[in-house]
């Protein structure tokens, strides 16, 4: 036994010397206890007195713990538990009558008169409430990130993430002055994060804006009397003065943050535009042009414009040189060959030469994905469509008594309808390029 005590003391001294050595290596000072001061209370740890030193070797042996716990005091001793007096369940009552036995045993606690066939469900105390769950938010959803809403009334709008609420929902805003999206809660499933991020560390959100702030208030409706069913109108939602005040506070701070950014014009334009706005056409089909996408269809439209322009330039040159222009379907109907035809014919040839140049620029813009080269063709074709409308109205108004005039006007307007279809095809591809390039921001999908 003395040998075991001596081994314990040696082990304790060795551990103390090792601790002092490690503290000296780290540069820590070993401060001796000051005399006359009360020793500081050590924090109580949950480690047991006899713990594992490693490899199954414990600090104290079984014989040592036998003496430390003073188990020798309880050897051979048995304590008897006092018997509790049993409560009587029956009471003996005398019964009168010779043939009744003289007594009866009556239960003190009467049994139930009804026993259910199925045991009822007992309510248990819930330990894991949904409100106390830990919310896991995607790493891309950081405060200040510009998000794209995928559901709800404001779907397609771009909003700014302000913070994450306790319920795990995202607090976002438009701002309201940019795209009319107020302070809202959105689930992270219904947003797409972008690479654009604003510094909203200086934006101070009112403390009352929390989950309770957005909770709907259920109003009890009074009972309707007879005849009041059609008189009462449904109340529409109106924002309270508190919400309007909070919206103005947040919008003012957020707009100041955007104005301090070097690319404020692009950011304002980006927040104000809609995401996923479908173009007019997704395929380009006609009796002469059919393609699965509007890009290839735009190439075909450019070829059609060049071919049509060459035909009209040739026809106009023939009329200016003394050709027949007395038919309704001629572009220079009823013009003087020596005077007015030379002026209007020259303007018409110049316009269609510009259309040829605009078509070449459009092909170049489609190849390099630059929407700026497509704009001249869109404006030129729109101007041509307006001229066709006016020319058809002039023909019908002035020569409606001739059947040839009506036929020529219908042919002209059918051609105009085809030009409108070609314009829609090119504009659809222009809208796709604008969505991709304004501004250069990457979508961060989960």
The pairing of beta strand 443-444 with beta strand 191-197: antiparallel
DSSP one-letter string for 285-352: E-SS-EESSHHHHHHHHHHHHHHHHHHHHHHHHHHHTT----STTSTTTT--TTTHHHHHHHHHHHHH
pTM: 0.43
How far apart, in whole angstroms, are the C-alpha atoms of residue 390 and residue 421? Answer: 18
**How far apart (Å, rounded) are the C-alpha atoms in residues 229 and 224?**
7
CB 216, CB 189: distance < 8 Å: no
pLDDT tens digit sequence for 235-292:
777 888 899 999 999 999 999 999 998 888 888 888 888 876 656 676 777 656 666 6
Q: What is the mean pLDDT of residues 93-118?
A: 86
- Residue 17, pLDDT > 80, answer no
Nearest to 438 by CA among 362, 379, 370, 377: 370
Percent of the chain with pLDDT strictly greater than 70: 75
Peptide linkage before 175 cis (omega within 30 of 0): yes
Q: What is the pLDDT of residue 38?
A: 58
Q: Give 394's pLDDT tier (boundaries 50, 70, 90).
A: confident
Structure tokens at 221: 């409706």
Mean pLDDT, the chain, integer:
79
pLDDT at residue 360 is higher than 90: yes
Residue 218, pLDDT above cutoff 70: yes
Range with the lowest mean pLDDT among 126-135, 404-413, 436-445? 436-445
Place of tokens 């909770």: 215
Q: Kindly state the average pLDDT of the residues 121-150.
A: 84
Given this model, what pLDDT does residue 1 score? 47
Mean pLDDT over 189-194 rounds to: 92
26 — pLDDT class (breaks 50, 70, 90) = very low
Per-residue model confidence (pLDDT) at position 446:
47
pLDDT band of 429, cuts 50, 70, 90: confident
Would you state the pLDDT for residue 260? 92
**How large a percentage of the chain has pLDDT more than 90?**
23
Structure tokens at 121: 């469900």
Q: What is the mean pLDDT of residues 120-137?
A: 79
Q: What is the mean pLDDT of residues 143-161?
A: 91
- The answer to whether residue 189 scores a pLDDT higher than 50 is yes
Q: What is the mean pLDDT of residues 332-339?
A: 63
């Amino acid at each position: 036994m003395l040998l075991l005590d001596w081994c314990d003391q040696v082990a304790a001294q060795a551990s103390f010397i090792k601790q002092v050595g490690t503290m000296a290596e780290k540069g820590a000072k070993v401060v001796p206890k000051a005399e006359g001061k009360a020793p500081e209370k050590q924090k109580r740890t949950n480690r047991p007195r006899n713990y594992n030193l490693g490899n199954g070797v414990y600090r104290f042996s079984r014989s040592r713990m036998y003496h430390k716990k003073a188990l020798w005091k309880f050897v051979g001793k048995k304590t008897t538990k006092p018997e509790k007096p049993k409560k009587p369940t029956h009471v003996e009552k005398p019964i009168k009558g010779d043939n009744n036995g003289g007594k009866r045993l009556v239960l003190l606690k009467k049994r139930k008169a009804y026993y259910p066939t199925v045991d009822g469900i007992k309510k248990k105390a819930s330990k894991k409430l949904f409100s106390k769950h830990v919310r896991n938010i995607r790493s891309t959803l950081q405060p200040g990130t510009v998000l794209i809403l995928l559901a709800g009334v404001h779907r397609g709008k771009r909003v700014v993430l302000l913070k994450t609420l306790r319920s795990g929902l995202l607090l976002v805003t438009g701002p309201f002055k940019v795209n009319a999206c107020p302070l809202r809660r959105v689930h992270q499933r219904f947003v797409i994060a972008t690479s654009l991020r604003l510094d909203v560390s200086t934006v101070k959100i009112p403390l009352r804006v929390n989950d309770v702030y957005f909770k709907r208030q259920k109003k009890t409706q009074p009972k309707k009397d007879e005849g009041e069913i059609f008189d009462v109108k449904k109340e529409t939602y109106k924002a309270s003065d508190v919400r309007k005040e909070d919206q103005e506070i947040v919008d003012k701070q957020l707009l100041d943050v955007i104005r301090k950014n070097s690319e404020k014009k692009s950011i304002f334009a980006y927040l104000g535009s809609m995401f996923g706005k479908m173009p007019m056409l997704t395929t380009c089909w006609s009796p002469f042009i059919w393609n699965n996408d509007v890009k290839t269809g735009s190439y075909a439209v450019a070829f059609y414009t060049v071919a049509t322009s060459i035909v009209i330039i040739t026809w106009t040159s023939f009329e200016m040189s003394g050709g027949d222009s007395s038919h309704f379907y001629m572009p220079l109907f009823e013009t003087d060959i020596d005077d007015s035809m030379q002026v209007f014919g020259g303007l018409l040839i110049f316009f269609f030469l510009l259309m040829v140049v605009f078509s070449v620029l459009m092909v170049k813009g489609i190849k390099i994905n630059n929407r700026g080269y497509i704009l001249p063709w869109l404006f030129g074709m729109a101007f041509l469509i307006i001229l066709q409308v006016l020319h058809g109205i002039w023909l019908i108004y002035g020569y409606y008594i001739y059947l040839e005039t009506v036929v020529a006007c219908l042919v002209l307007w059918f051609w105009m309808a085809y030009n409108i279809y070609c314009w829609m095809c090119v504009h659809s591809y222009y809208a796709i390029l604008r969505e991709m390039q304004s501004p250069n921001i990457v979508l961060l999908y989960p």
